[in-house]
């Protein structure tokens, strides 16, 4: 499998205003890709767009959209059709986590978590994949998590959404690997982003936080070899193998102890 050439390609990145989404945008722009940046914060997107144009001279389109809303993906698809932008690369990076006892968390907030972490990537992939197939090439990176490797007490919905994304991505890799489409499930562990500021619980951050630029660099290297899954970081990879050595029940008990709220 040859390295993927991003020069002259168009990459759509969700969650591009911060964290790994912003880092994907920066590294793809450095590789010569035009960008379509999607997030809720217009000010942050415009600042990033100005940076990428100044540093790399690439074309950047900004779309301000809350992907948890039901009308989000049809709106984006219509906007891209109007602009005649058809992405060759799709980075589904937008997502968030809720933390705490399941019954105490807002069901509306958890519904948004499912919509953003699961439904939005599925709908965007479904909308963008036909164009990639027509051209005979494309890249899809779905940002899952090491939380996908086991059930996660106190982050039950987050772990379940990431397990869904891992399975979904692997299935697409199986379907489309012979048709020029590279699909990667990226499973980072704790990463040095604002993610844990939203979660607002140090217990949810397991292990040393990995710099976002290193996670993204490893992901793009994995795409070059057409891998279907990448657990970023050797320590995270080791933790991801724990299910091979203990029962599922024992694994859940271990994770419950790690993630248990300290106030409990």
Active-site amino acid positions: 158
CA–CA–CA angle 242, 224, 236 (5° rounding): 20
The enclosing H or E element of 163 equals: helix 156-176
Tokens 């690369």, residue?
89
Residue-wise over 254-264: b if at least 16 C-beta within 10 A, else e? ebeeebeeeee
CA–CA dist 34, 230 (Å, integer): 25
List the one residue out of 173, 90, 155 whose CA is nearest residue 127: 90
List the one residue out of 212, 183, 181, 207 whose CA is nearest residue 195: 212
Check residue 2 and report its DSSP letter. Answer: P
Structure tokens at 262: 């300290």
CA–CA dist 216, 220 (Å, integer): 6
Structure tokens at 229: 């899954």
Strand partners, 139: 89, 182
């Amino acid at each position: 499998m040859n390295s993927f050439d991003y020069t002259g390609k168009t990459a759509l990145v969700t969650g591009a205003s911060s964290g790994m989404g912003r880092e994907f945008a920066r590294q793809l722009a450095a590789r010569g890709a035009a960008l379509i940046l999607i997030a809720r914060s217009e000010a942050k997107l415009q600042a990033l767009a100005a940076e990428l144009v100044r540093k790399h001279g690439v074309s950047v389109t900004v779309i301000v959209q809350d992907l948890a809303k039901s009308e989000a993906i049809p709106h984006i698809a219509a906007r891209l059709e109007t602009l005649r932008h058809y992405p060759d690369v799709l980075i589904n990076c937008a997502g968030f986590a809720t933390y705490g006892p399941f019954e105490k968390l807002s069901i509306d907030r958890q519904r948004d978590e499912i919509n953003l972490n699961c439904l939005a990537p599925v709908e965007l992939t479904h909308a963008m994949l036909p164009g990639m197939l027509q051209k005979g090439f494309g890249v899809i990176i779905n940002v899952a998590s090491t939380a996908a490797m086991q059930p996660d007490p106190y982050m039950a919905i987050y772990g379940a959404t990431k397990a869904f994304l891992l399975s979904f991505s692997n299935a697409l890799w199986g379907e489309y690997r012979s048709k020029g489409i590279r699909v990667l499930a990226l499973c980072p562990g704790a990463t040095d982003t604002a993610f844990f500021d939203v979660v607002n619980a140090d217990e949810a951050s397991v292990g040393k936080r990995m710099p976002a630029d290193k996670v993204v660099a490893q992901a793009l290297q994995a795409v070059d070899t057409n891998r279907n899954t990448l657990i970023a970081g050797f320590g995270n990879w080791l933790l991801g193998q724990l299910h091979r050595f203990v029962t599922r029940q024992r694994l859940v008990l271990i994770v419950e102890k790690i993630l248990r709220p300290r106030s409990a």
